[in-house]
Amino acid sequence: MDLTALPPLWITLLIVCPLVLVGGMVDAVAGGGGLITMPAYLIAGVPPHLAIATNQLSAGLGSTTSTVRLCRNGFVNVKLAVPAALFGFAGSVGGARVTLLVPEGVLRYVLLALLPLIAVVVLRKKSFAAKDRPMPARRRWLLVAACSLACGLYNGFYGPGSGTFTLLAFTAVAGMGLHDASGDMKIWNLSANVASIVTFALSGQMWWVVGLVAGVFGMVGHYLGAGLVLKDGTRIVRPVIVGVLVLLFARTALELAGVIA
């Protein structure tokens, strides 16, 4: 990692930490927190590979809070959590390796193109099924494994919205009810984040100080968000996500115009 190419630490923390806090609250309330935290690193001027890796670290620490809470309250189907964790781990390693092969200049524009598309999908997500759909146990196990692998690939490659996509896959494809799907998605998410963190760290693409400090803010955000009772969380989520995306595109436009480095 070339330290000379990084923005000043204090400026990075000043921009990233508040947005990671808000992202954690949004994620706990309605999902989609990654659509705030990932742009936060790019707005701060963190290079794309390093931004993805460090976001995985802070996101992993933040989601641990809600994962533990769901596990303690019985929101986990252990038989399905195992394939979710294993295949999510494998997929995320593969996705992270693909990301590392993409040139930084190309990756920056790939991320800019993906962000608004993912935001539309996440913000327009439909209600999840409340109850299990009847299905043979072996078939459901295989479907959970396939969904976990596919979503893991996306999580390792990029990340934002992966929890929402996985929850949708578990309920719509594998026929799981929202109760078990929520807990198993969190187990998947934790495993996938660990895989990405390890893969990026071994490649030297991790800003540990920023990721760990921002992770603490993420944990606080998840804790606060879990305690909120909102009738319509998306009424808060939408303007926050749109605002952050506008900031990101404004910064990119200024870069292209040569106004900022």
pLDDT at residue 29 in the model: 63
pLDDT in tens, 94-121: 999 999 999 988 888 888 788 788 877 7
State which amino acid sits at residue 38: M
Q: What φ, ψ does residue 174 adopt, rounded to 5°?
A: -85, -5
The pLDDT score that the predictor gives to residue 198 is 95
Digit-coded pLDDT (tens) for 171-194: 889 988 877 888 888 899 889 999
CB-based burial label for 12 (10 Å; 0-12, 13-18, 19+): buried
Looking at residue 228, its pLDDT comes to 61
Q: How many residues does the chain have?
A: 261
Tokens of 213: 């400090």
Task: State the amino acid at position 102 in one-letter form.
Answer: V
- Phi/psi at 26 (nearest 5 deg)? -60, -40
CA distance 174 to 108: 34
pLDDT at 71: 76
Cα-based angle 23, 205, 27 (whole degrees, multiple of 5) = 15
Q: Map tokens 């921002």 to a residue.
A: 214
Q: Where are the domains of the chain?
A: 11-257
Q: Which positions of the chain have pLDDT values less than 50?
A: 229-232
pLDDT score of 238: 66
Contact by Cβ (8 Å): 208, 159: no
pLDDT of residue 90: 97
Mean pLDDT of the chain: 84
